[in-house]
Amino acid sequence: MAFDQRVFVSFNPFNVYVSQADVKPACVLRQSNAVNVLQDRKLINDKEVRECKSNVMNTWAYVGDLSDRPQLSCVYKSEDAQNEFLSNPKLGIGEDVYDDDIKREMAAGANTKRVKNKQSEGQREVGKRNKKEAKAEEEARQNTVVDM
C-alpha cells in the first residue's frame, strides 16, 4: 500500500500544509531481485539503477500493475523505525525529535495516560523566533511609513 501525500511549506511566515493522503495499491520488491525483475520487463535501465544506488537508495517499489505502466520509485528501507518500534512501541507514539518530556516521565516512573498540554523545547524556540521576525517586520513597516 502507498500513501500519496503532498506537503507544502511557506517560509514567510513559516507554515506547513498537508494534503489528504491518497491510498493506492503498491508493492515493494525484495532487494535481492528487484533490479532483475524490473530490467527483465524493460521498466528500468542500467543508468536508473546506478542513479538509485548513488542516492543511497536500496530497492524499488511500484504503484499499480507491473504489466500496465507502473509508477516506479527508488526507495530506501529504513531499519531505524522498525528497531525503535520493536524496542518500545509506546515510546514513539505522538512524539517528535524535539520532545524532552519522555525521559523525565520515564525516570519518574510515570505509567499513565499522557496528554500533551505544553510545547516542547523545540516548539518554544520556533515560537520565539517567529515572534522576533514578526516584531522586526512590524518595525520595518513602521519605519517605511515614517520615511514617506
Task: Report pLDDT digits (tens) over 56-66.
Answer: 788 899 998 88
Q: CB–CB of 84/92 below 8 Å?
A: yes
Q: CB–CB of 98/122 below 8 Å?
A: yes
For 52-58, what is the mean pLDDT? 83
Q: Which pLDDT score, from 0 to 100, does residue 55 have? A: 80
**Side-chain half-sphere CA neighbours of 15 within 13 A:** 5
Evaluate if residue 85 carries a pLDDT over 90.
no
Evaluate if residue 121 carries a pLDDT over 80.
no
Q: Of 65, 69, 39, which Cα lies nearest the Cα of 52?
A: 39
The percent of residues in the chain predicted with pLDDT above 70, rounded, is 65
User: Model's pTM, two decimal places?
Assistant: 0.50
For 118-144, what is the mean pLDDT? 75
For 70-80, what is the mean pLDDT? 82
For 113-137, what is the mean pLDDT? 69
Q: Please tell me the distance from the alpha carbon of residue 105 to that of residue 144, in angstroms, as a whole number.
A: 50
More confident residue, 21 or 115: 21
